[in-house]
Homo-oligomer: A and B are copies of this chain.
Amino acid sequence: MNGTSVSHCESCPTRHLCLAEGLEGEQLQALATCVRPCAPMHKGDYLFRAGDPADACFVVRSGAFKTFVVNEFGDEYITGFYYPGEILGTSGFAAGVHDESATALDTATTCRVRIEVLPDLWSIGTGPALLRLLGRHDRQATEDRINLTRTRADARIARFLLNLSGRMKHQGRDPAVLPTPMSRTDIANHLGMTLESLSRVIARLSRARLITAARTEITLNDAERLHALACQLDD
């Protein structure tokens, strides 16, 4: 499996974003024996389900995922979107059981990090990288929370877009081009508003030429004004 000359980590395009960040030859090979890449998943496939034993967390290699919780009444809450280099599934460590479910938003791959290898990660030297991933995840959660406290829908959406933009930049991608493989319904749900409100605001922002909205891609034309909107200084 890993006896070939080039490990899956060495050939991974996401290696500068994940646990492999800053690692060299031997360390990369050692890491490759710890984490396991999954087969490509397709839209709607489950990475894990709420209730599954949480014996591992995951780092996105390609594509995107959403995590969500379904309550006793069948209401779905989208708790997060995950892009390459981002870690998910860690909240399950609290009770040893995943408390949310995760599905692929399009064709996507991950690396599976089993809970048992976490101590090994420190000896390999990728402990700090793990902390960075966990920290970024934590930070994202904080930003989402702060964003949700904004009452005005347009400010929430503006901040959501700018947050996505920052994550694209961190990935080394064009920060003005935001892939949105999730549905509008998912975005609205995640932002705590109705599909209608989201649709209206997107239409308004498009008319004002602040963004160009396509089905699976939103382009930022004026991040400056979007930022002003996010801070609801004016409109």
Contact = CB atoms under 8 A, between A and B. Distances in A.
B77 A135 contact: no
Taking the full assembly, how many copies of this chain does it contain?
Answer: 2
A38 interface: no
Given A138-B141, A150-B192, A127 B132 contact: no
A30 interface: no
A119 interface: yes
B93 A145 contact: no
A208 interface: no
Contacts of A100: 142
Given A122-B119, A148-B149, A137 B138 contact: yes
Contact of A118 (B92, B122, B148, B191): B122
Contacts of A131: 93, 115, 118
Contacts of A144: 145
Interface in A120-175: 122-123, 127, 131-132, 134-139, 141-142, 144-146, 148-151
A189 interface: yes
A115 B101 CA distance: 30
Nearest to A123: B119
Interface residues of A, number: 44
A188 to B, nearest CB: 10
B138 A79 contact: no
Interface of A: 54, 69, 71-73, 77, 79-80, 90-95, 99-100, 115, 118-119, 122-123, 127, 131-132, 134-139, 141-142, 144-146, 148-151, 189-192, 231
17 contacts: A69-B146, A72-B231, A77-B146, A77-B149, A91-B135, A93-B134, A94-B134, A94-B136, A94-B138, A115-B131, A118-B131, A138-B138, A138-B141, A148-B149, A148-B192, A149-B191, A149-B192
